[in-house]
């Protein structure tokens, strides 16, 4: 196999590119599922996590078998990050996608690097550099352009505002997750941390489903199961582990840089597979958001 001879750097880059491709397809799968049947966000997320569960159980078991036992601090960290990351961020994102296009959703989600910087300033005593201020201005100017595009297409300001608010909440939740995940990955290892955090997220999702939906909601048309399974494999299990492995090999800054492919891929696939309109404002907004992310991610 040719990649066995690759350097850690080259393999890390390849893994980061594949992770960006997988994550960019998540919004497409969600939109396709919403178009296929009247499924709600909680049920769809529950199916995604159930289909992904066997992989995380297996990886968590294998990675923990020869590792030292988790301390109370480790468990507290895993529960907090699991609730913030793939439960909190996902449920807010799925709800938001009921109101806005996949392209705008991905651009808003991509504010997480600038939000991570702001979290460092507000809660970790870090200072804001001129470059980081420029990055914030570029990113939010880009979202403003993409927002104007969606508003023009949808023609209903309230719905677009609701969708933007939910997806921005998702991005903020994910930024808090990222802020805490780097030390957790160093302490527990990428595979073990990712699997255990995802198990926490899965449990939280199922509790949310049981509390708010009847069990009959799990009876869905075949396409919904297919999209849920595809989301679990191609936009959850594979990219989650690929991203963690990429961060370990090339660092979070480079992984974020490569991840800037994500919004462009989502806009392209949204246009190709969902027939979402493409405009100069949306492309300009994407360019500004990516410029902001590149600026904040440079060493």
Q: Say if residue 153's pLDDT is above 80.
A: no
The mean per-residue pLDDT over the stretch 135-154 comes to: 80
What pLDDT is recorded for position 43? 95
The mean per-residue pLDDT over the stretch 155-169 comes to: 88
Q: Say if residue 266's pLDDT is above 90.
A: no
What are the residue ranges spanned by the domains of the chain?
2-297
The mean per-residue pLDDT over the stretch 137-148 comes to: 82
First to last CA, the chain: 33
Q: Say if residue 299's pLDDT is above 60.
A: no
Q: Say if residue 24's pLDDT is above 70.
A: yes
Phi-psi region of 189 (alpha: psi -120 to 50; beta: other; left: phi over 0): left
pTM score above 0.95: no
Is residue 285 very low, low, confident or very high in pLDDT (cuts 50, 70, 90)?
Answer: confident
* Choice between 244 and 91, residue whose per-residue pLDDT is larger: 91
Question: Which DSSP string do the residues of the chain spell out, in sequence order?
Answer: -GGGGS-HHHHHHHHHHHHHHHHHHHHHHHHHHHHHS---HHHHHHHHHHHHHHHHHHHHHHHHHSSPPPPHHHHHHHHHHHIIIIIIIHHHHHHHTTTS-HHHHHHHHTTHHHHHHHHHHHHS-PPPPHHHHHHHHHHHHHHHHHHHHHHHHH--HHHHHHHHHHHHHHHHHHHHHHHHHHHHHHHH-HHHHHHHHHHHHHHHHHHHHHHHS-GGGG---HHHHHHHHHHHIIIIIHHHHHHHHHHHHHHHHHHHHHHTHHHHHHHHHHHHHS-----HHHHHHHHHHHHHHHHHH--
> pLDDT digits over 166-205, tens only?
999 999 998 888 888 878 888 888 788 888 998 999 999 9
Question: Which range has the top average pLDDT, 39-43, 125-129, 142-146, 236-240?
Answer: 39-43
């Amino acid at each position: 196999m040719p990649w066995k001879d690759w350097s850690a750097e080259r393999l890390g880059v390849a893994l980061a590119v594949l992770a960006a491709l997988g994550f960019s397809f998540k919004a497409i799968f969600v939109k396709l599922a919403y178009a296929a049947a009247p499924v709600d966000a909680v049920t769809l997320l529950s199916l995604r996590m159930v289909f992904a569960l066997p992989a995380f159980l297996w990886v968590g078991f294998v990675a923990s078998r020869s590792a030292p036992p988790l301390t109370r601090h480790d468990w507290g960290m895993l529960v907090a990050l699991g609730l913030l990351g793939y439960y909190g961020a996902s449920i807010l994102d799925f709800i938001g996608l009921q109101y806005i296009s996949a392209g705008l959703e991905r651009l808003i989600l991509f504010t997480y690097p600038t939000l991570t910087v702001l979290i460092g300033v507000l809660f970790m005593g870090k200072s804001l550099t001129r470059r980081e201020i420029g990055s914030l201005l570029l990113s939010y100017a880009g979202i403003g352009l993409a927002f104007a595009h969606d508003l023009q297409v949808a023609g209903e300001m309230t719905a677009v505002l609701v969708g933007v608010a939910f997806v921005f909440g998702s991005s903020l939740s994910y930024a808090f997750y990222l802020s805490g995940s780097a030390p957790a990955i160093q302490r527990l290892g990428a595979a073990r941390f990712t699997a255990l955090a995802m198990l926490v997220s899965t449990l939280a999702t199922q509790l949310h489903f049981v509390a708010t939906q009847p069990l009959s909601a799990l009876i869905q048309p075949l396409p919904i199961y297919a999209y849920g399974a595809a989301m679990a494999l191609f936009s959850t299990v594979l990219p989650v582990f690929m991203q963690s492995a990429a961060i370990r090999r090339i660092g979070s800054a480079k992984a974020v840089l490569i991840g800037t492919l994500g919004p462009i891929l989502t806009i392209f696939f949204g246009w190709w597979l969902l027939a979402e309109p493409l405009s100069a404002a949306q492309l300009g907004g994407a360019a500004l958001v990516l410029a902001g992310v590149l600026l904040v991610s440079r060493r």
